[in-house]
Amino acid sequence: MDDRAIKIFSLNTSREFGKRVAAHLGLVLSHHEERDFEDGEHKTRSLVNVRGQDVYVIQSLYGEPGISVNDKLCRLLFFMGALRDASAERVTAIVPYLCYARKDRRTKSRDPVTTRYIAQLLESIGCDRIVTLDVHNLAAFQNAFRCPAEHLEAKNTFVHHFASLLDERDIVVVSPDFGGAKRAEAFRKQLSQKLQRDISIAFAEKHRSSGVVSGSMLVGEIQGRTAIIIDDLISSGTTLARTAKACHSQGAVAVYAAATHGVFAKESNHILAIPDLENIIITDTVPSFRLTASEVTAKLTVLDTTPLFAETIRRLHSGGSLVALLDSP
C-alpha cells in the first residue's frame, strides 16, 4: 500500500497488535510520543505531519495492570483530538475490543447506557469512523453512533479454524443463550458452506439477574455430536461452563468453546478448569493475562485477527467493500 496519503498509529498498549496490522499492509506504524506526568496527567502527539492524511488509530480498550480502561479511552480521545487539530483529513478509531459495550440498555431504573455515552465522547472529539469487532449488541452499537460505525465479525476466522480441526466430525453449533442465536446461526451457516454439509444448531437457556445466572434447558440434537459453543465474550466463564456441562449431559462426544474476546475475570481460572471443555478458542483482541491456571491455559488457542483489521483499513482507504470482506467464506 502507498503510504503517502495514509498514516497508521497504535498507542503504546496496543503497539504489538498495531505493528502486525501495519505489516500486513506493507507499512510501518507512524511515530508518536506518549508522555506521562508526575500528577497522573499525560499527553500524546504525532511526530509526523498528518495534514490532509487518512489517519487510523489502533487502541484496544480493555483494562490491565498499570493502566485502566478509562485511562486508555482518555488517551485515545486526546490523541484523536490532537490529530484533528493537526489538520488530518479523516481520523478513524480502530478498536478491536470496545469498552463498556455490554451496558447497552437500562435493565434497572436510572441505569446508565454507556454504549451511547462512548459514542458521544468519540464523536465530540472528531472521530470520523469507528471500527470494532463483535460487539455484544450489534443493534445498540449501530444506533449509538451518528458517524459511520463498522462492525467486523470473527466468524470467518473461527470457521477456518474449525473446518480444518473438525472436518470429519458430526457438528452442532450451540448458542449459550437465546440472545446469541443470530451470531450462532451466522457461524453455523458459514461453517456449513465451508464444509459443504449441513450442520445443526442448538440453544441453551440462560437467565441473569443481579449477576446470578440460571436456567438449564438445552434445545437441539446434541447426542453423539461435537458441540461448538459460540459467543462474543468470556468473562467469568460461568455461561460457557454451564453450557458445556449441559452438552455433555445430553451426549456430546466433545465440547469446544469459541469467543471473540477473552476478557477472563479472575474467577475464570477455576470455573473453566473443568473436563467438560476440550478446547477454548479466542482471538487476540484482549491478551489473556488474567489466566494463570494451567488447566485452562493448556486448552487455550488464540487466533490472529490482524489480517482482518489490515484488510479493513485497506478497503476503507481505497473505497473497497467491507460487505464482500465479511461475507466471503
Residues designated as active site = 206
Q: Which pairs count as long-range contacts for 99-106, CB under 8 Å and 24+ apart, including other chains? A: 99/61, 99/62, 99/63, 99/69, 99/72, 99/73, 100/69, 101/132, 101/135, 101/136, 101/137, 101/140, 101/141, 102/136, 102/233, 104/136, 104/137, 104/140, 104/141, 104/144, 105/137, 105/140
Instruction: Find how far residue 10's CA is from the centre of its chain.
Output: 17
Q: Which pairs count as long-range contacts for 278-284, CB under 8 Å and 24+ apart, including other chains? A: 278/254, 280/234, 280/240, 280/256, 281/158, 281/161, 281/256, 281/257, 282/234, 282/258, 283/133, 283/154, 283/157, 284/17, 284/96
Angle at 49 (CA atoms; ends 44, 54), nearest 5 degrees: 90
CA distance 158 to 230: 9
Cell of 171: 457438528
Do 93 and 122 form a contact (C-beta atoms < 8 A)? yes
Fill in the amino acid letter for 307. P
* Residue where the block lists cell 440434537: 221
